Structure 1
Amino acid sequence: MAKKYYSTKIVGIGGEVEKFTSLVKMLVIFDDSMVLPELREFSVLHSGNKLSDVIKPGDVLKIADAEFKILKVGNEVNNNIKSLGHIVIKFNDDREDLLEGSIHVEDKPIPKFRIGDEISIFEGSSEALAGKTAIVIGEDKTLCAAVTLILNDNGARIVEDEDADIIVKVN
């Protein structure tokens, strides 16, 4: 499984969050103790802000059970999350101009937020392998074994069937 380096729990949901995220495809999160009063209604509030690495493109944002590949990271995101527990998440693939305190993730359906849900970030995109089937084909048995181990360690189930979700051919 990929390394989880950020996690926090949702403790509050502003009354305008659902409408705001559906209209502008953007989510504002703030540590419950740091949110400005004028932003509370538009923010998902959290506590237990734990960041142990640097947020970077290619990593995976997970909100409850929904996963999003991180495409771009603004220069102030890591400082803001440490000092304010604050990130602006834009759900879009167009990679438009990036604000300093925002991250852009892939454009997929935005989940409904619930108190108690976890927001987390995982290193790399291997979290997306969880539950997938994979087969590794090739002559070099040592290399095939190494690739199989990596896939398996990252959540893929190795099968002998070429109808697998993922087929890796090793030369």
Structure 2
Amino acid sequence: MTMFYRTQVTKIGEFATEALNDNMMILFNDNAPEDVADYCFIHPRAELQGEIAVGGFFVLGNNRYPITAVGDVVNQNLGELGHITIRFDGGRQAEYPGTVHVHGACPQELGVGTQLIFERNF
């Protein structure tokens, strides 16, 4: 596996965990606008050193999720803003341009310090 993006949750917005009930999580780096940050899992800026693509993996703490669909602006948004949405629904077509769909059960809770990693094996 080649890791090409790695960071960790440093702050959890007041309403961020509510999105987990809808099988999704919203990521934003620590420059998130204040009104948006309340809905996000905040992380420090990290350099995107590859492209997120179907066939890769999203690693969240100790869980590895196969990537099943990638929106058109995911790589740009993650690289510039650290902002994307992860959907835990195994969708084969991206619902929105900034969404990554993965296969696997959505975590019920996440804590500060949880690792966020994107990997590929190709």
Which stretches in structure 2 are left out of the alignment for 5+ residues? none
For the residues of structure 2 that align with 1:65 and 1:111, how far apart are their CA atoms? 14
- Following superposition, the deviation at residue 93 of structure 1 comes to 2.2
CA contact (8 A) 1:8 1:50 kept: no
Matched residue, 1:136:
none
Q: Which amino acid aligns with 1:76?
A: V
Computing the radius of gyration from Cα coordinates, the structure with the larger value is 1
Structure with larger RCO (C-alpha < 8 A, sep 6+): 2
The TM-score normalised by the length of structure 1 is: 0.66
> Higher helix fraction: Structure 1 or Structure 2?
1
Matched residue, 2:8:
9
SS in 2 for 1:98: coil
The one-character-per-residue Cα deviations of 1:103-156 (angstroms, maximum 9, x if unpaired) are 10113132521112210011139xxxxxxxxxxxxxxxxxxxxxxxxxxxxxxx
Mapping of residues 131-170 of structure 1, within 5 Å: none
The TM-score normalised by the length of structure 2 is: 0.91
SS in 1 for 2:14: coil
- The runs of 4+ residues in structure 1 deviating greater than 3 Å are 94-97
SS in 1 for 2:54: coil
SS in 2 for 1:20: helix
Once superposed, what is the RMSD of the aligned Cα atoms?
A: 1.7
Q: Which amino acid aligns with 2:71?
A: G
Matched residue, 1:164:
none
Matched residue, 2:37:
40
Which stretches in structure 1 are left out of the alignment for 5+ residues? 126-171
Aligned pair in 2 of structure 1 residues 40, 53: CA closer, same or farther (>3 Å)?
Answer: same
Matched residue, 1:140:
none
Matched residue, 1:73:
70
Matched residue, 1:25:
23
CA contact (8 A) 2:69 2:91 kept: no
